[in-house]
Amino acid sequence: MLQNKIALVTGGGTGIGAAVTQQFIAEGARVCIAGWRVEELDVEGLGIPKDSVILCPGDVSSAEDVQRMVDTTLGIAGKIDILVNNAAMDIFGGVTDLTVEQYRKVLDVNLTGPFLTMHTAIPKMIENGGGSIINMASLGGLRASAGACAYDSAKAGLIMLSQQVALEYGRLGIRCNALCPGATRTTMLEAAIGEVAKMRGIEIDAMMTKFTSPVPLRRMAEPSEIGRICCFLASDDSSFITGSALVADGGSSVVDCSGYALGA
């Protein structure tokens, strides 16, 4: 499906990013994994062949680091076919809880970071005849959730940024889609749920049950499920899909919260 494709995946060493990387490689791609902690990444532990991956440490909110990420990816085979903007962070808190610095940091990583990678990579993708960009947004970019003002605002902006890129560069062979997962079993999410459980004085298992109870499928997504969707969006099988905000949330977005309360 992705034979001989070259991909840059930010935040590709853990959680959804690691699942995306594994799926891409399984389908024949070679991947540059970029992010904060890639120097600590156990490639063999993830079952990734060493000749299929290259690591590039860096901060996506730094233009200098992003340039190095793109250059490193180009060093694999002189091209970039696929860009996955997955690197993200979250700081829990409402508008009056967060400092300005905290709010800006979340936006710098989650929104400015994808802008920088696309700004740097798109010209190279155009030189190669086009490519596919997948921006990892979130159900939080479409629906509000308590304590996520910075994260949700950034992800909402990322959806619109994806649509802008799809509009402006489609004629040049660039496809750009925003993928909007619901709750996915990652270390970052589990830590956030644990923090809320601690604040409320309840066990984390009880908080997990409460968290997933409104979801029609009654569970979180596994990272591998999101990875397979990314593989589809990266491939020619999705050749006429661009500018979409593809929701993968177990049905969460169809639930009317008032109606759910009646049946809970």
Write out pLDDT tens, residues 105-154.
Answer: 999 999 999 999 999 999 999 999 999 999 999 999 999 988 899 999 99
Q: Residue 176: exposed, middle, or buried by beta-carbon count in 10 A (0-12, 13-18, 19+)?
A: buried
**Per-residue confidence (pLDDT) for residue 40, from 0 to 100:** 66
CATH code given to domain 6-184+222-250: 3.40.50.720
Q: Which residue has the tokens 């750009």?
A: 176
* 215 token code pair: 């979801």
Distance CA(238)–CA(150), nearest Å, equals 31
- Which of 83, 194, 180 is CA-nearest to residue 131? 83
Strand partners, 30: 6
Question: Hey, where are the domains in the chain?
Answer: 6-184+222-250, 186-219
Q: How far apart are CA 58 and CA 63, in angstroms?
A: 10
Q: pLDDT value at position 56?
A: 95
**What is the pLDDT, as a whole number, of residue 13?**
85
Write the pLDDT tens digit of every residue in 62-117: 999 999 999 999 999 999 999 999 999 999 899 999 999 999 999 999 999 999 99
C-alpha closest to that of 82 among 168, 165, 174, 181 = 174
Query: What's the pLDDT tens digit per position in 3-38?
Result: 999 999 999 888 999 999 999 999 999 999 998 877
Residues assigned a catalytic role: 151
75-78: list long-range contacts, CB under 8 Å, 24+ apart: 76/6, 76/30, 76/32, 77/4, 77/6, 77/30
